[in-house]
Amino acid sequence: MPAYKCITVWKALIRPHLEYGAEMMSSSDDSLWEEAEVVMRANGRRILKCGSRVPNEAVMRELGWMSMRGRRMLLRLSFWGKIVQMKEDRLVKRVYEAGRQRLSLDPKAGTWCNLTRKWLQELGLQDAWHRQEVAGDWRETVKGRILEAERVRWRNGAGQNARLEDYVQWKDGLSWEHEGYLGERCLIRRRLWPKLRTGCLELRLETGRWERVSVAGAQVQVPRWARKCTLCYQEVEDAAHVMFRCPAYEKLRAEFWLRSGLEASVVRAARKVMEGEREQEERLWKWMMSGEGTERAMCFLERVMNERAGLVSW
């Protein structure tokens, strides 16, 4: 089943159960929703067909999802906007005004109004609370503020993960749309692609994290700079080394890039990369990662990893 159909199942059948009554929940303890975040990320990994090594930030970015906390904020504050526009004789409005009056007498009261005010302040919308008015398309205003906060939170989290060092260079925050390669029906390619993007392929850069060497009688982890390719021992074995520079795959690269029917500019860039020009390598890498060359790159990656498996096992 294509991944986009699994995404539809998540949005239509699973997520609504986690969000049921989110507009009215009054607890300010975000840890109560951590289990929902775990369920969401677990479903995201099933959709991407990737393992637990892929960082949470990458899972969210590839699928274009905001956190469950962000979803809850959107539902609650959108509902609040409807309440303040209701007529004074509505029962819901009267209950709301009673809660707001209680909050004015006790600012620390654990009421529905307290958390609503807190989230408005967090998003920089405290003026709307003071005026008790909403203007324009309130839902879109709230959504825009939440998305911006989600981007900032995403970049802070991704920037602290060494695996995503390259990923954040060409992915700026969340796009809120799932990646096009998720329509790929080939299960092998769908599994390889998120691992390639997030530096979690079964290469020595990743597998070396579990290797140990003896230093002064103590067992220590092999540092990143020492996780050399076991076929050429020239460089650290990462995705760029395997796909562009490792001599073990020179024949495969020549066959693919020079006979793949790609545009002449891409073929010229591939020739220069194989001649050692790092500037062209960066351009070709971006072309492969950004979407235009994704399908071609996935075919190449599948062949490279299959050949590598044979060489390493030999």
pLDDT tens-digit profile of 102-152? Answer: 988 888 777 889 899 999 999 999 999 999 999 889 999 999 999 999 999
Cβ distance 59 to 50 under 8 Å?
Answer: yes
Work out the burial of residue 47: count CB atoms within 10 Å of its CB; fewer than 13 is exposed, 13-18 middle, 19 or more buried.
buried
| For range 187-216, the mean pLDDT | 83
d(CA 241, CA 253): 12
Distance CA 62, CA 44 (A): 9
Residue range 16-38, pLDDT digits in tens: 999 998 888 866 666 668 889 99
pLDDT at 38: 92
pLDDT in tens, 228-272: 988 888 888 888 888 888 888 888 877 777 666 566 666 677 767
Please determine, for residue 314, whether its predicted confidence score (pLDDT) is greater than 60.
no
Check if the beta carbon of residue 241 is closer than 8 Å to that of residue 266. Answer: no
Q: Say whether pLDDT at 91 is over 70.
A: yes
d(CA 183, CA 4): 6
Segment 55-77 shows an average pLDDT of: 91
Q: Which residues contact 143 (CB under 8 A, 6 or more apart)?
A: 74
Residue whose pair of structure tokens reads 């024949």 in the numeric block: 251
Tokens of 199: 């530096």
- Beta strands (DSSP E) in 115-231 are 212-215, 218-221
